Amino acid sequence: MGSREEKVRPIVFSGAQPTGQLTLGNYLGALSHWVAMQEDHDALFCVVDLHALTIRQEPEVLREQVLSLAALFLACGIDPEKSTVFVQSHVPAHAELAWLLSTFTQMGELERMTQFKDKALRHRQNVNAGLFTYPVLMAADILLYGTHRVPVGEDQKQHLELARDVALRFNNLYGPTFEIPEPFISKGGARVKDLQEPTKKMSKTAESELARVMLLDDAQAIMKKFKKAVTDSLAHIADDESGQPGVTNLLNIWGAATGRSMEEALAHFSHNQYGKLKVETAEAVIAILEPIGRRYRELNTDRSYLWEVLQAGAAKARERAEGMMVRVMDRIGLPLERQRFRG
Ligand code: ATP
Ligand code: LTN
C-alpha cells in the first residue's frame, strides 16, 4: 500500500561536468544535497559530457573523466539502487530537445547570462555557439524529466531561471507540457569561495592549486590549503562578506561541513584566532573527504561495475525522456513516426 506514496515522490535532476576533478565547492553546493535528496525523491544524476564540449577537451582525457566522475558520484554516496545515474550523451533526447527549446529562447536572454560572459572572456579564442546556447541544453536536461527540484550552487541560479522562463513560454503556447522546476540552493554551502581570492567562487579551473580543495586531496594537502587561506588583518571573527570575505568563507565552509548554521559557527569561533578557525575548518573537511577518497579509489578501479551502472541508468533515462519527446513533438506539430510513437 506504501507504493502509492512512492509514486508521487518529487523528481530531482542535477548534473556536473566532467571537466577535471570536483572541488569542495561542488560537494557542499551540490553533491552533498543530491545524496540527501535521493532518499525521498525520484532522483536522476547526470554526467553532462555534452556541456563539457563547450570548452575544448582532449578525447582520451574526456573519456576517462566521464567514468571517473561517475565513480566520484557513487563515492560521495549516490546509490544507483535509489537514483538513476547516467551520462548525458547516452540519451540522445537531451540534444534533440535542446534544439527544439532553442527556438523558444531569445538571443537577448542568452546574452544576459553571466556565466557566458565570464567564460567568453576566459576563452576568447573559442567563443563557440555551444558556449552561448549552453543554458538551453541545461534547460533540456531538466525539462525532459518533469523535474520538480534542481539542487545546484548559487552560480547556476540564473540558468535555472531561464529554464523556468522557457518552460512557461512553451506551456503558454501549447498547453501544460513541462513541469516548472524549482532551484534548490542551500543556505550554507551554495557559494564556496576561492581560498586565495575569496571574492571569487571556488572553481575547478582556478589558476592556483592553493585556491581550491579537490575532493580527492589528502589530509595533508587539505590542512596546508586551509592554513594558507587568505584572511585579513582585522583579527576579528565575523560574518561580513564584503568586509571580511576570507573569514566569512571559512565560517561558511565549517558550518556546511559540520551541518551547523552561521550563528552556531559564530558562537563557536567568535573569541578565537584565525589559526583555530583554519585548523578546525580543515579538520571538518578532512572528516568528510577521507571516506569519499577511500571509496573512490575502490570504485574507480572496477570499470565493469561502473559501466553496468551507467548502462542501466541510460536505459531508464532514455525510456523516460522518450515519453516527453513524443509529447513535445506532437504539441509542436512534428509528425510522429510510428516506430517512435509507441503510446
Ligand atoms: P567550473 O568551476 O569549471 O566553472 P563548475 O564546477 O561550476 O565548473 P559543474 O561541475 O558542472 O561546474 O558544477 C556542478 C555543481 O557544483 C553545480 O551545481 C554548481 O553550481 C556547483 N558548484 C560549483 N562551484 C561551486 C562553489 N564554489 N560553491 C558551491 N557550489 C558550486
Ligand atoms: N550548468 C551546470 C551543469 C549542469 C546542470 C544541468 C546542473 C548541466 N545541466 C542540469 C543542474 C541541472 C554547471 O555548469 N555547473
Task: Write the pLDDT tens digit of every residue in 70-129.
Answer: 999 999 999 999 999 999 999 999 999 999 999 999 999 999 999 999 999 988 999 999
Return the top range by mean pLDDT from 188-192, 206-210, 241-245: 241-245
pLDDT of residue 339: 72
Strands 11-16 and 182-184: unpaired
- Residue 123 CB–ligand 1 contact under 6 Å: no
Asked if CATH classification 3.40.50.620 holds for the domain at 11-189+302-341, the reply, yes or no, is: yes
| pLDDT tier, 340 (very low <50, low <70, confident <90, very high otherwise) | confident
Q: Residues 119, 193, 225, 278: which is the catalytic one? A: 119
Q: How far apart are CA 86 and CA 301, in angstroms?
A: 18
Q: What is the pTM of this model?
A: 0.95
203 CA to centre of ligand 1 in angstroms: 7
Substitution site in 78, 155, 252 for ligand 1 pocket (most atoms within 8 Å of beta carbon):
155
Query: Is 224 noted as a catalytic residue in this protein?
Result: no
pLDDT of residue 206: 81
Q: How far apart are CA 311 and CA 340, in angstroms?
A: 21
Residues 116, 203, 52: CA angle, nearest 5 degrees = 55
**Could you report the per-residue pLDDT of 264-307, keeping only the tens digit for each?**
999 999 889 999 999 999 999 999 999 999 999 999 999 999 99
Name the nearest CA neighbour of 88 among 337, 287, 318: 318
Asked if CATH classification 1.10.240.10 holds for the domain at 209-298, the reply, yes or no, is: yes
pLDDT mean across residues, the chain? 95
Residue 259, all three cell numbers: 551541518
**Could you report the per-residue pLDDT of 26-66, keeping only the tens digit for each?**
999 999 999 999 999 999 999 999 999 999 999 999 999 99
Q: How far apart are CA 142 and CA 179, in angstroms?
A: 9
- Residue 65 CB–ligand 1 contact under 6 Å: no
Q: Residues 82, 157, 204, 224: which is the catalytic one? A: 204
- Judge residue 333's burial from the number of C-beta atoms within 10 Å of its C-beta, 0-12 exposed, 13-18 middle, 19 or more buried: exposed
**Could you report the per-residue pLDDT of 223-237, keeping only the tens digit for each?**
999 999 999 999 999
Q: How far apart are CA 120 and CA 72, in angstroms?
A: 29
Helices (H), the chain: 3-7, 24-26, 32-37, 49-52, 59-76, 93-102, 107-111, 114-122, 129-143, 157-174, 219-227, 245-258, 262-269, 274-299, 303-332
Domain spans of the chain, in order of start: 11-189+302-341, 209-298
| pLDDT tier, 1 (very low <50, low <70, confident <90, very high otherwise) | very low
Q: Is the pLDDT of residue 205 over 90?
A: no
pLDDT of residue 342: 58
Q: Residues 193, 201, 225, 278: which is the catalytic one? A: 201
Residue 121, all three cell numbers: 572572456
| pLDDT tier, 207 (very low <50, low <70, confident <90, very high otherwise) | confident
Q: Is the pLDDT of residue 7 over 90?
A: no
